[in-house]
Structure 1
Amino acid sequence: MMNTIIPKKAPVIILASILSLAVLSGSALAQPLPLTLEEAIEKARTQNQAVAASKQQENASAAEHQDAKNAILPQWSFGAEYDRYSKLTLFEDGLSDSHSLTRRPSPNGVNAGTRAEFTLYSGGRQRTFIEEAGIRTRIEKINTTDIQGNVALQTVVQYMEMVRLNKLDSLIGEQIKRAEIRLKNITALFNNERVTKTDLLRAQVVLSANKLNREQAANDLAIANYRLNVLLNLPDSTKILPRNPAEMQTGRSYATEPMLHQPNNSYVLQRFGENIRLQESRIRLIKSSYYPTVQLVGAYGLNYPNTLFFPPVAQWYSVGYVGIKTGIHLSAFYHSKQKMAAARSRLAGMYLQQQVISDQVGTEISSAQIKYRESLSRIRVAEESIEQTRTNLRITNTKYLNQTALLTDLLDADNLFLESNYNLVRAHADERVFYYKLLYAQGQL
């Protein structure tokens, strides 16, 4: 029998293999997902959980609307009953003298039949119920569209935040490279006793701060990625890669001026308009209580024994009838008076409130339009300042190496160059966000 000799390094090799497999499987689970802005918006509109919940409410409202329509169909019922009667106890002299008899003509009783009612006229109540259910269905549809638009807007904000942070990470990476080259040059100058140790220490501190800024940007990017995953209903481990950041550099602007001259169709006003129609429908419902109800009724049944004759006969019989049934609630003439006054007052208040909301939405649209134009101006200014700050950085760097400028001037020039590049990225992101805010405010997103 031979003993297998296991090298001492084998457990280490096995552990390393297990860890490698875990890392590989983890990276396989977190596959990057390239997405354009339009693709992200479409996923949010179709996959978001809040949208799915609103669609369920919309489906429920549609079912209730159909149920209201079905209420105009005849009310039809069927029933059957069997009774076994006990003996009758008869009292001749108060409660003292009693005797029992069997129910005539039989102790058994059977009733089975069907009944139908069809409303011919109800003062418009049924039509009003159907109308109210239809209005509620439209309100739920508006709610769903509103939620889709709101989720799409949040998606744009988070997507552009990721684009901004990705570019910021790249800009800080370039700044770190410049800081490393600067530190190398300052170290050489310090060794040649051309600069003080203060410059060397400050260059080291600036490099460390830049690295910390990049770590913070990476953390913010991970948070924005997580928020976008939630909006798109994607697994938490999904790494989204914005696929069209290059479009931000085209300077493309959208035609927003016509939006200010279009009818205000915001989701708030759409919903409020339907609520006004609902209140008008309720007024018509109150009015309908003043009118009578007319129904066509009919029934047919099989019964035992025959109690239609006297004396009753122990025999089966069947009979049916058709007739008209009418009635009116007289109390409605004094009960509904105050209800009508309250309903009309509410309707008048809703008309006034509609104008207030219209003004508020108009202000929101105008504000978004102004901020959109401002972002376009910022893009133009940022594009012009980038070349200026790049030239300034190059000149200041040369002056510092020749000891004709201070390190503070060089660091300020470097930060100014970073800021000008970042301002351009932020202006492009703001331009896209304000455009979609304008679409949402107009009820077009």
Structure 2
Amino acid sequence: MNSIIKSINKVLFGCCIVGVSVHTTFAQEQKMLTLKDAIELSLQNSKELKVSSSKVKQAVASLQESKDNRLPDIDISGQYMRVNKPNVDFKLQNSGSGEEGGEATEAPDVSQAMFGMATVKLPIFSGGTITNGIASAKFLEKAAALDAVRNKEEVVQNTVEAYYNLYKAQASVRLVTENLNSSKQRVKDFTGMEANGLIPRNDLLKAQLQESNLELALLTAENNEKITNFNFDLMLGLDEQTKLVLDSTGLDSRPVVKSLSEWESLALSKRADFQALGQRQDAAHKGVQIAKGAYYPSLGLSAGYVGINVPNALTVTNAVNVGAGLSYNLAALYKAGAKVKQAKAQEEQLAWNQEQLSDGIRSQIHKSYQDYNQSLKKIQVYMKAVEQANENYRITKNKYDNSLATTTDLLDADVARLQAGIDYEYAKADAVVAYNKLHESAGVGVGE
């Protein structure tokens, strides 16, 4: 009896899929969903991809800002002032009179003043900071775009895993339900046999206990299915009450993959995050050149126009100036060194990050490759286990019918058959996930 309870508990554990929240629905709309459709929906509704898109837009704007530094700066200013009539006492005599006590010069009547100014400055040379800044911004823009590609690959992989987690949950419900129906029929048969004195009551109690344990297993499996279905609906942006009906046609395919060395080479040439880090390293190199630009003088062209109008006093028009300016910050000779060292340290850090990522990619490829091969072997093992469990149950049932096996043997064989079926369904789903994971680790889509 204890062995039967332990076996049922094992099935309960095997049916468990970790969930986040429980959501009970009373009327659910069903939706047929292929893996391709699921991926499209997840890409459309992924919050992570929307953040990546915003980062790309930000990088594009930063590049445009760097390019705008090549354009001239234009400043226009003007003032209009109202003034009162001041009291002016000229101590100097009118020079035209030539005599003491001549007529004093009268101050002009000024009640307002206006002037306008326009200046244009065009940078010609600034130590290469503008050119290198544009180049750095281009590298960072490419890195942001590559980050978005990598995030997209991760979203696709998460969708594949969620899709087949739901398949495993639904498969558990289906298999446990089938086994429970068989168990109920067995209890019905045993009840009649016990009433006719053909079996002891203890055998009937064992069958009833197994039925109760299977009912608990079904409750657990159904609960896990609801949780997984709910979370998948959230991921896809669907109504929370939508019950998803999955397509399982791709579970029987067993594609052959390249060798491990080929996958490693492919990953180092295709992984978007590895390429993005290379772009950031190039941007950091330009950052060193930008920091060194402080050692050089700046040269620029300038032009200006001034207009002044003070009624009854002064009018200035057509005052245009054009010139060139050269400036050099001598303090940069001893202040810019620290910034150059910081830029070089950042470049060195990114170089080591790239080496670290290279090792990580190779490790991921190796694990994904071995996991996929293992999943294929598990399918073969569990396929044989299903055949063995079915045959074992058939033989045990014949022995039981001929009083050569106990009720415990029969129930154990039934639980083993259920567990083998669940393991086989899980193995098929895990193989598809592992196959997609191998491609995601290499930075390529399935079929590329």
Q: Give TM-score scaled by structure 2 length.
A: 0.83
Displacement of 1:52 in angstroms is 1.8
- Residues 44-82 of structure 1: per-residue CA shift (max 9 Å, x gap): 122222212321222232123223222212212222111
Q: Contact between 1:128 and 1:284, CA under 8 Å: does it hold in 2?
A: yes
Identify the residue that residue 282 of structure 2 maps to in structure 1: 277
Aligned residue identity for 1:413: A
Number of equivalenced pairs: 403
Identify the residue that residue 351 of structure 2 maps to in structure 1: 351
Structure 2 counterparts to residues 11-22 of structure 1, below 5 A: none
Q: Contact between 1:301 and 1:320, CA under 8 Å: does it hold in 2?
A: yes
Displacement of 1:303 in angstroms is 1.1
Displacement of 1:297 in angstroms is 0.9
Does the alignment pair 1:118 with 2:122? yes
Q: Contact between 1:85 and 1:103, CA under 8 Å: does it hold in 2?
A: no
Structure 2 counterparts to residues 340-379 of structure 1, below 5 A: 340-379=340-379
Residues 103, 433 of structure 1: alpha-carbon distance in 2 compared, 3 angstrom cutoff? farther
Q: Which of 164, 170, 195 is matched with 1:166 structurally?
A: 170
Aligned residue identity for 1:397: K
Residues 162, 120 of structure 1: alpha-carbon distance in 2 compared, 3 angstrom cutoff? same
Structure 2 counterparts to residues 10-159 of structure 1, below 5 A: 27=27, 30-85=28-83, 87=86, 106=110, 108-159=112-163
Q: Give TM-score scaled by structure 1 length.
A: 0.84
Q: Contact between 1:45 and 1:149, CA under 8 Å: does it hold in 2?
A: no
Residues 83, 161 of structure 1: alpha-carbon distance in 2 compared, 3 angstrom cutoff? same
Q: Runs (4+) of structure 1 moved beyond 4 Å?
A: 88-92, 101-105
Structure 2 counterparts to residues 251-266 of structure 1, below 5 A: 251-257=253-259, 258-264=262-268, 265-266=270-271
Displacement of 1:333 in angstroms is 0.9
Does the alignment pair 1:179 with 2:164? no
Structure 2 counterparts to residues 270-349 of structure 1, below 5 A: 270-305=275-310, 313-349=313-349
Q: What CA distance in whole angstroms lies between the structure 2 residues aligned with 1:381 and 1:233? A: 38
Displacement of 1:105 in angstroms is 7.9
Q: What CA distance in whole angstroms lies between the structure 1 residues aligned with 2:178 and 2:292? A: 75
Q: Contact between 2:133 and 2:287, CA under 8 Å: does it hold in 1?
A: no
Q: Contact between 1:169 and 1:217, CA under 8 Å: does it hold in 2?
A: yes
Alignment root-mean-square deviation, CA: 2.5
- Residues 322-352 of structure 1: per-residue CA shift (max 9 Å, x gap): 1111212211111011222232233223323
Identify the residue that residue 20 of structure 1 maps to in structure 2: none
Identify the residue that residue 444 of structure 2 maps to in structure 1: 444
Q: What CA distance in whole angstroms lies between the structure 1 residues aligned with 2:286 and 2:88? A: 59
Aligned residue identity for 2:216: L
Q: What CA distance in whole angstroms lies between the structure 1 residues aligned with 2:223 and 2:44? A: 28
Q: Contact between 1:368 and 1:438, CA under 8 Å: does it hold in 2?
A: yes
Identify the residue that residue 421 of structure 1 maps to in structure 2: 421
Identify the residue that residue 410 of structure 2 maps to in structure 1: 410
> Which has the higher mean CA deviation after the structures are superposed, 283-292 or 50-59?
50-59
Structure 2, unaligned runs of 5 or more: 1-25, 92-104
Displacement of 1:89 in angstroms is 8.1
Aligned residue identity for 1:246: T
Q: What CA distance in whole angstroms lies between the structure 2 residues aligned with 1:156 and 1:398? A: 43
Residues 285, 136 of structure 1: alpha-carbon distance in 2 compared, 3 angstrom cutoff? same
Residues 104, 68 of structure 1: alpha-carbon distance in 2 compared, 3 angstrom cutoff? farther
Displacement of 1:117 in angstroms is 1.3
Displacement of 1:221 in angstroms is 1.0
Aligned residue identity for 2:250: E
Q: What CA distance in whole angstroms lies between the structure 1 residues aligned with 2:69 and 2:397? A: 84
Secondary structure in 2 aligned to 1:329? coil
Q: Contact between 1:88 and 1:103, CA under 8 Å: does it hold in 2?
A: no
Aligned residue identity for 2:257: A
Q: Contact between 1:122 and 1:292, CA under 8 Å: does it hold in 2?
A: yes
Q: What CA distance in whole angstroms lies between the structure 1 residues aligned with 2:106 and 2:376? A: 101
Aligned residue identity for 1:59: K
Q: What CA distance in whole angstroms lies between the structure 2 residues aligned with 1:434 and 1:247? A: 13
Secondary structure in 1 aligned to 2:295? coil
Q: Contact between 2:53 and 2:148, CA under 8 Å: does it hold in 1?
A: yes
Q: Contact between 2:42 and 2:235, CA under 8 Å: does it hold in 1?
A: yes
Residues 222, 254 of structure 1: alpha-carbon distance in 2 compared, 3 angstrom cutoff? farther
Q: Contact between 2:117 and 2:304, CA under 8 Å: does it hold in 1?
A: yes
Displacement of 1:102 in angstroms is 9.6
Q: Which of 227, 240, 249 is matched with 2:231 structurally?
A: 227
Aligned residue identity for 2:219: E
- Residues 283-307 of structure 1: per-residue CA shift (max 9 Å, x gap): 011111111111111112321249x
Q: Contact between 1:40 and 1:155, CA under 8 Å: does it hold in 2?
A: yes
Structure 1, unaligned runs of 5 or more: 1-25, 93-100, 307-311
Q: What CA distance in whole angstroms lies between the structure 2 residues aligned with 1:90 and 1:332? A: 53
Displacement of 1:362 in angstroms is 0.8
Does the alignment pair 1:247 with 2:250? yes
Aligned residue identity for 1:47: N
